[in-house]
A and B are shown apart, each in its own frame.
Chain A
Amino acid sequence: MIPQDPAEFVFHEAHLLDRGYLDEWLALYADDAIYWLPQRDDDNPAQQVSLIYDNRTSLRGRVVRLKSGFAHSQLPPSRTTHLVGNVRVIRDEADEVEVHSTLMVVEARRREQSVYAGAMEHLLARTDEGLRVRRKVVRLVSGDIPLGNLTFLI
């Protein structure tokens, strides 16, 4: 069951990612979804290169890759804990609701632990099937410094 409370929805996404339920995670996303990790807060995705600027097809590609058995950078896979806090409903309308939160991800792989943190924005569409992600933005505090392997799912 996909939660219909906006905050519970965001917690649920974090839970699916930490458990590796990739198909269930992808099903949270609307067909017109955008998933964006800018390098800096004032970046324009049409003019500056982003860490990730995925549409639904690209997101599906990430899941296909991770499940292919040949995604070497995730063999062995990262183990993660997504901690979501400071959840605020910014805008609540008939057709969509906007939720802002703070994200911290602790990732362990190959005997090393990494921490990623940032501000997260979810624009959730109210569809006939319930809430779906129309737009997710994660603004990492470390987005503009040299990073290592970020191919687990934020």
Chain B
Amino acid sequence: VRYTSYSTAAGTAPPGCAMTNRVARTSSAARITGGPTTIPVRSEASPTTTDTRISTGPASDWRHCEYLGNAAPYLQRVAAQHPEGIRLGAGAHQVTYPGNWKLQVENSIDGYHFSFVHRSFMEVVADRSGSTTSLQNLAGAGDVSVIDLGGGHAVADRGDATQGTLGGIPFNLNVFPNLCVLGLQVRHVIPKSVARTEVCLYPMLHAGASVEHNASILRAHEDFNGPAGAGTADDMEIAFFRVGDGLEATENDWLVLSRGLHRERPGENGVLIGHPSDEVAQRAFYRRWRQLMGGRT
């Protein structure tokens, strides 16, 4: 099994990123790979720009994607969020932190931390809007489910009606092991060592949309993300740096991820559904990880 979750078909990536706009200059096709199956994703690159366009191919192309399993329909929705597909042509934020890569994967789908870790961001939103009603929307009020999709994949699904927490797609998707899609971005988590991680955050532009429209996506993305973004930095401080400190404690060898275990319920296609603040997605990840590492399942 190959664990490369995302790669470009052409070009050699610079250290750190699987794909940057520099690489995409010459790429003619992007594909999502993993396991023995390669999923065809239509991609058109313009020779004069850095665009890489991704749109959904025929549904039959996805049928054979055993590795993605229940995650495939969500990836199709990612590509279908705009009629002409999405572009990853704006480059990427690159961040690094002194901690383990799995913390970023856990965090990308976690519904429990937002209202505490990102409290300062919500204060800014309240300052701009002059009210606190938007805080409730940001905190994810409404009908949210966190679903273990099998194969280590998981999703926090906010349903069809509501917008995403920070705009963009209405779900946070983790494709095992290190690809996350949430809000306005594709997130590629790159382990450098046991205690050093780099992350590339690619804003998802709308193919065929106006420059002004896509610029507004960039501004919304930058507001929260990147080394100077309010959200990313607070995640690094709390969820990676301080949690990493806690993991160094020697009193107890075990990290308990049992929250909501008693109220998981089965859904269609073998999925497990839980409350948004439960550790359903984290259990999904670590079950698969332990299996691949040779542990008991």
Which residues of A pack against B, CB within 8 Å?
37, 39, 43, 45-53, 57-58, 60-62, 64-65, 68, 70-73, 75, 110, 144-151, 154
Which of A37, A47, A149 lies in contact with B233, CB distance below 8 A? A149
A147 near B124 (CB under 8 angstroms)?
A: no
CB of A73 within 8 A of CB of B222, answer no
Contacts of A71 in B (CB 8 A): 120, 230, 234
Q: Chain B residues with Cβ under 8 A from A43's Cβ?
A: 91
* Bound: A110/B98 CA distance, A: 12
Interface-facing stretch out of B32-40, B60-68, B151-159, B212-220: B212-220
The secondary-structure label for the interface of chain B is helix
Contacts of A64 in B (CB 8 A): 123-124, 127
Contact B234 A150 (CB under 8 A): no
Q: Which B residues touch A53, using CB under 8 A?
A: 218-219, 222
In the bound complex, how far is the Cα of B93 from the Cα of A148, in angstroms? 11
Could you say which of B95, B127, B211 contacts A60, with CB atoms under 8 Å apart? B127
Asked if residues A149 and B227 are in contact (CB atoms below 8 Å), the reply is: yes
Query: Is B97 interfacial (CB-CB < 8 Å)?
Result: yes
Q: A146-B16, A146-B95 are in contact. Are A49 and B226 (CB under 8 A)?
A: yes
A43–B20 Cα distance when bound, in Å, is 13
Contacts of A147 in B (CB 8 A): 94-96, 227
B220-246 residues at the A interface, CB under 8 angstroms: 221-223, 226-230, 233-234, 236-238, 241
Q: Please tell me if B42 contacts chain A, counting CB pairs below 8 Å.
A: no
**CB atoms of B91 and A49 under 8 A apart:** yes
B121 located at the interface, meaning its Cβ lies under 8 Å from any Cβ of chain A in the complex: yes
B226 A148 Cβ-Cβ under 8 A: no
Known: A57-B128, A73-B236, A151-B230. A48 touches B120 (CB 8 A): no
Query: Which of A45, A58, A65, A148 touches B236 (beta carbons < 8 Å)?
Result: A148
Contact of B93 among A49, A58, A62, A73 (CB under 8 A): A49
Q: How far is the CA of A6 from the CA of B222 in the complex (A)?
A: 30
Q: Point out the residue from B95, B124, B221 that lies within 8 Å of A148, measured CB to CB.
A: B95
Beyond A70-B119, A147-B96, is A51–B227 a contact (Cβ under 8 Å)?
Answer: yes
Q: Pick 9 A–B contacts, CB within 8 A, sort by A.
A: A45-B215, A48-B50, A51-B93, A52-B228, A61-B223, A72-B120, A73-B233, A147-B94, A147-B95
Interface presence of B274 (CB below 8 A): no
Is B21 interfacial (CB-CB < 8 Å)? yes
Please measure, in the bound complex, the distance between the C-alpha atom of A72 and the C-alpha atom of B122, giving whole angstroms: 13
Residues of A within 8 A of B229 (CB): 151
A73-B234, A145-B16, A151-B233 known; 12 new pairs, CB 8 Å cut-off, are A47-B89, A48-B90, A51-B228, A53-B218, A65-B120, A65-B124, A65-B230, A146-B199, A147-B227, A148-B236, A149-B227, A149-B236
Residues of A within 8 A of B233 (CB): 73, 149-151
